[in-house]
Amino acid sequence: MYSSAVEFFADLLAQSYVREVNEGAAFVWCAEWYKHPEALIRMEAIWRAWEHLRLEPALGVSTWWLNHADPHMRVLMDKEGPFKKCAYDGHKPARAAGLAALPHTEPETGIFG
């Protein structure tokens, strides 16, 4: 139905989540959400789940809301989530906002198989 996560967001999801966001609101959002790696991956997951579950006649859409859209959107719109630094002055790249990827050390050879 939709050709991309961006099209899906603009046509369906953004129209479905009507919330007061940013500047003192309970939720935050970045209009340039697609520039946040976490948001882009989560939106891709929400979109792909939609494309699959919308075809299930009985509980597909309900399952999508409860198990996919709402959990991901709660994380994305949380005041401590990926848009925290964008809430007042617009988009801020994570690195410019003083944030970095989670620390990671390569595991020892053979530890996973």
- pLDDT tens for 66-77 read 999 999 999 999
Specify if 39 maps to a domain. Answer: yes
Specify if 98 maps to a domain. Answer: no
Specify if 109 maps to a domain. Answer: no
Specify if 99 maps to a domain. Answer: no
Name the amino acid, one letter, at 76.
L
Specify if 105 maps to a domain. Answer: no
Domain span at 45: 5-86
In 3-state terms, what secondary structure has residue 21? strand
Helix residue ranges per DSSP H, 1-113: 5-8, 14-16, 37-53, 60-64, 70-77
Query: Cα–Cα distance between 70 and 11 in angstroms, integer?
Result: 17
Please give the tally of structural domains in the chain.
Answer: 1
Specify if 113 maps to a domain. Answer: no
pTM equals 0.85
- pLDDT tens by residue, 23-48: 889 999 999 999 999 999 999 999 99
Summary mean pLDDT of the chain: 92
